[in-house]
């Protein structure tokens, strides 16, 4: 879980992540297990970066974004984007679907060695190269993104156009609830 550690766009553990645990609604977890089973015959699996996100974590992101002087992770996560525009451009939101428990950030890995396959940009990279439709991404990476999106969609998830890694269960059980219990 990326936000339990310091390797993220803020550069430190995010509020509300007390353990590196993926919490999801039962419905989302069952659908994600189906995705995993569908990928296995291809020698592929899933690596999950984030699942349920407490509302207090979103508040932490907001405080970080308002501190425009903190540019310590800019080179790794948003080298071509002005920090002041992260909300306007849709990279960070004041309310996150993750806080409803049926949204997940993930990528594909090779089961043989556990290595991530090339998706054309890293996770949480705030740039057009992370958009699903970006034409500058190499063809193999586009194919990998399309595979991930197709399998997720078949199992009931819908993606987000600015993040190839972000998927929400279309029939999520708590569509209007934003939880704030810590991840333990």
Residue 63: predicted pLDDT: 96
Residue 181 lies in a domain: no
Residue 132: predicted pLDDT: 92
Helix (H, G, I), strand (E, B) or coil at 15: coil
Contact 124, 8 (CB under 8 A): yes
Residue 16 lies in a domain: yes
Residue 178 lies in a domain: no
The parent domain of residue 80 ranges over: 2-169
Give residue for tokens 């990998």.
144
Residue 6 lies in a domain: yes
Residue 174: predicted pLDDT: 98
Q: Give per-residue pLDDT as tens, 5-57.
A: 999 999 999 999 999 999 999 999 999 999 999 999 999 999 999 999 999 99
Q: Which segments in the chain show pLDDT lower than 70?
A: none
Any idea which residues carry the catalytic annotation? 163
Residue 56: predicted pLDDT: 98
Residue 36: predicted pLDDT: 98
| Interior/surface letters 13-26, b for 16+ CB within 10 angstroms, e for the rest | ebbbbeeeeebbbe
Residue 147: predicted pLDDT: 98
Residue 174 lies in a domain: no
Separation of alpha carbons 106 and 53, rounded Å: 14
How far, rounded to the nearest angstrom, does the alpha carbon of residue 17 sit from its chain's CA centroid?
15
Give the CATH number for residue 19.
Answer: 3.30.1380.10
Q: Which of 121, 131, 120, 117 is CA-nearest to residue 163?
A: 131
Residue 103: predicted pLDDT: 98
Residue 3: predicted pLDDT: 98
Total domains, the chain: 1
Q: What is the pTM of this model?
A: 0.97
Residue 175 lies in a domain: no
Which residues 6+ apart lie within 8 Å of 85 measured at CB?
none
> Residue 25 corresponds to which tokens in the numbers above?
């609604």
Phi, psi (deg, nearest 5) at residue 168: -125, 135
Residue 102 lies in a domain: yes
Residue 180 lies in a domain: no
Residue 180: predicted pLDDT: 98
> Residue 74 corresponds to which tokens in the numbers above?
């800019």
């Amino acid at each position: 879980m990326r936000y339990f550690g310091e390797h993220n766009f803020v550069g430190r553990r995010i509020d509300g992540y007390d353990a590196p645990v993926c919490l999801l609604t039962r419905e989302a977890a069952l659908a994600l297990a189906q995705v995993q089973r569908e990928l296995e015959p291809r020698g592929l699996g899933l690596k999950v970066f984030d699942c349920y996100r407490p509302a207090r974590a979103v508040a932490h992101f907001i405080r970080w974004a308002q501190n425009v002087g903190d540019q310590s992770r800019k080179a790794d996560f948003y080298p071509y984007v002005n920090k002041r525009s992260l909300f306007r451009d849709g990279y960070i939101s004041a309310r996150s679907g993750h806080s409803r428990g049926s949204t997940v950030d993930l990528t594909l890995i090779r089961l043989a060695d556990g290595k991530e396959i090339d998706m054309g940009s890293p996770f949480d990279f705030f740039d057009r190269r992370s958009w699903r439709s970006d034409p500058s991404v190499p063809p193999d990476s586009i194919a990998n993104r399309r595979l991930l999106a197709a399998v997720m969609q078949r199992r009931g998830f819908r993606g987000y156009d600015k993040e190839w890694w972000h998927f929400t269960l279309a029939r999520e059980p708590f569509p209007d609830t934003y939880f704030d219990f810590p991840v333990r």
